[in-house]
A and B are shown apart, each in its own frame.
Chain A
C-alpha cells in the first residue's frame, strides 16, 4: 500500500517539481519576449499537488486536470518535449499543436486531459471510473480540480453519483485560493470545501498542499481505498497560486505580504529540506542541475520543431460523402 514515499520516490517527486518550476519560469520569460501564444496558466507554487498526487497512480490509472495542469502532465509521466512543443503549437506536440497548453492529453500515459471548462474535469474523471467499474478493472481515476470548480453544479452531480455507485475516483482539490481574481472566501460558503464530502457520505482529508509528502500520503491512502472498491474520497490540498491567473492577468489583488508568506513555504524548499536528511548535498545539486538542463534542452528542441500543416478534419464532415 502506498502511504509514505520512499527516499527515491520523494527525490523523483522533487526532480519533477523542479522541472515544472523551470518550465513555468521559462514560459514566463518567453511570454515577456512575446514568443508565447494565447494565455498561459502557470502553476508556480502548486507543483507539489500535481506531482505528488499523480505519483501514487499506476500506469493504467487515469487523471483529469484543469487549465493549469503542467504539474499533472509531468507527474503522470509525460516527457517535457511533447508538452513544451504542444505549448508552442508544434507538430511534435503531444497533440500535434491542436490542443494548446490547457487541453494537453496523452491517452497512453493516462493523462486524459487538461480541461478549460472549469468543473468539467470532475464528471470526466467520474465517467472514467464508471467505465472501470463496469468493466471490472482494478484501476482508479483521479480528478485534480480547483476551488473555483468546486462551486459548479456539475461538481455536485458528479460527486453524488461517484459516491452513490462507489466509483473508484479520487477527487484532489487543489485549493489555490482564487477563482481567476476572486478569492475563495468570496466564492464559497465554507472555508474548507472538503467538508462537503460528508454530504455525499465520502471521506475527506485536508493537507498542506505545499508538502509533497503530505499530499502523497493522503492521496495514496484514498486511492488505495478506491482501488479496493470502497468508493471515492476527497483530499483538499491547501496551496497558493503565486503567479496570477494567467499571463494575461494584470494582478493587483494579491498582497505582497501574502505572496511573500507563501513563497517562504515554497514546495520545492519544503521537499529539499526534508530530503537533506537522507540525501547528500552533492546528489541534490546534481539532480537540480540535471532538471534545469533537461528543461533547457526540451525548450531548445521544441522551439526548433516544425509547425503543423492545416487540414480539414474529415471526421467532422457534415455530409456522408466527401464534398
Chain B
C-alpha cells in the first residue's frame, strides 16, 4: 500500500517554526477524496485549510487537535487501502513535540511518500543550518542528497535542491539564505523582488502572493526592524527602515532590486529609492503610507494595544473591505505571535514616531515623483486604514489600480491579482 503524508508544506510557503492543529475534518478510517478539506491548521497569521492530496483513507493522525506541529511535520497519513496504520493515534500532546524544537527531529524522521528515494525508517542526517534553511524554504530533506561526511546534508546541498541550475552571475546570498536573519529567498533570477510588509505585520504577509509570482524569479521577503525576526533592530524613522533594508541587501551582495512595499513597507520602499544605495528597477506599491497625512489612528492603536483575540479581531477586520471576515483563528495567531516575539513595545514606539495623532508624520510624495523606473500603485477602494484617495497624488507616469471591494491588504484580499500586477511591473522593465 502507498501512504501519502499530509504535511504542512502543502499549505504553501510558511516561515513559522510550528503550526497549531485547529481541527480535523476527517477521523481515522474515514474515506477521503483528493481536494477534500482534511485538516485546518493555524499558521503565522491565518487559519489554513489543508486538502487531501489523494483519494484514499485517512489512516493515521500524528498531531491531534490543539497540538503544535513543526513546519514540515507529517500531520497524518492517507493510504490507498483501508488498512489502518499500526502506530497509535496521538490523542494527547506528546512530550517530545510539546517540548518544542526536538519535535523537528520527528518531522524529518517521519515516514515519507513512497516515491522518495529513502526508506521510511531512514534517519536523515543534515547539518543544523541545512535543516533550518530547508524548513524556511519548505523543502523536504528526504528528497535532498547529502554530500558531507556520512552523507550529511549540508547547506550547499539544500541550496542545490532550491536551485538546480544557478545562474553564473547570481548574487551569493540568494542561493542559500546564509545567515541572513529575516530573509527568505526562493526561486531564481538575477534581480530579486524585495517585498516589504506593512506596520505590525511580518514577511509572512506575502505568503499567499509568493507562490503565485511564478517560478523563474528571485524573491526576498524581509522582516522590517521592530517586526518578526528583526524585533531587536531599532527603528525610529522611515529613513532608518530604508537604511536597514539597504544594509541588509548590501550584506547579501544584492545591488539591483525590484521593490514591492505595502503600507509602511511602501513608504520604506520609496525612501529606499531616495537613498541611491541600491539600483531599483521597478516599484510596486500596495496602499503605501506617506502620500497624505490621514491615517486611521484608532486602527493602529487598536492593533498595538489589543490583548485578547476578540478585541484584536474587531480592529483587524478594519484591514479588510466591508463585509469581509478574517480567517478563523487569525487574530489569535497574531496575538500569539506578538507575545512570542515580544514586539508590542517596539510597535508602540514606532507608532509614536510615525503615526501620532492620526497623522502620517512623513511625506513620501517627493520620492514617488522622483522615480524614473516603472511604477505601479495598487489600492483597495474600500481601504479603511489609509484612504484610497491618496492614490490621486500619484504622478502621471505611475499606473494606478483601484480595486473594488478590497480594503487595505490587497495581497491578502486579492492575492492573484496582486501577484499578476507585481509581475507586470517587473516584466515591464524588460
Please tell me whether chains A and B touch each other in their complex, using a CB distance cut-off of 8 A: no
